[in-house]
């Protein structure tokens, strides 16, 4: 059983930056592909970025060029660097891990961290 704990959320002004972290425990982190999703009230959870165990990254069109997903296998942690933040990036951000499934339905989820972009 893998446990995921997100951190790094908060309040930031438009144009600002935040780095989210997701620390994993309870499994062999390096074999898992990792994802970041976000969700706002009344909407479905949407994929933000995905990073395979082999290092291939994919991004939602809405965040391409602004967000970067990365991982440090030695620290069992995946990151989401968010730059040039916009009010529409406001959401609860969740990290997920998958090995047996795929990025659309991760095997494990974290509890989420709130990101609010507002002046």
57-93: per-residue pLDDT in tens? 999 999 999 999 999 999 999 999 999 999 999 999 9
Ranges of beta strands (E only) in 1-119 are 3-7, 10-12, 18-25, 33-39, 46-51, 57-59, 67-72, 77-82, 91-98, 108-109, 113-117
9 in Cβ contact with 115 (< 8 Å): yes
CB 48 within 8 A of CB 63: yes
Is 90 exceeded by the pLDDT of residue 41? Answer: yes
The pLDDT tens digits of the residues spanning 100-112 come to 888 888 999 999 9
The percentage of the chain sitting over the pLDDT mark of 90, rounded to a whole number, equals 91
What per-residue confidence (pLDDT) applies to 102? 85
For residue 117, the 8-state DSSP code is: E
| Cα gap 46→14, rounded to integer Å | 21
Average pLDDT of 28-56? Answer: 95
- Residue 24 predicted with pLDDT over 90: yes
DSSP 1: -
Banded model confidence at residue 55, pLDDT cuts 50, 70, 90: very high
User: Residue 89: helix, strand or coil by DSSP?
Assistant: helix
Please give the mean pLDDT across all residues of the chain.
96
SS3 30: helix
Give the model's pLDDT for residue 72.
96
């Amino acid at each position: 059983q893998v446990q995921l704990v997100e951190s790094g959320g908060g309040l930031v002004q438009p144009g600002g930056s935040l780095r989210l972290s997701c620390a994993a425990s309870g499994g062999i982190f390096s074999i898992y592909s990792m994802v970041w999703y976000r969700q706002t009230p009344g909407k479905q959870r949407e994929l933000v970025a995905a990073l395979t165990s082999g290092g291939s990254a994919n991004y939602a069109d809405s965040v391409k060029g602004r967000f970067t997903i990365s991982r440090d296998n030695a620290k069992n942690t995946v990151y989401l660097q968010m730059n040039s933040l916009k009010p529409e990036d406001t959401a609860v951000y969740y990290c997920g891990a998958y090995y047996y499934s795929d990025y659309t339905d991760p095997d494990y989820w974290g509890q989420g961290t709130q990101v609010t972009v507002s002046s």
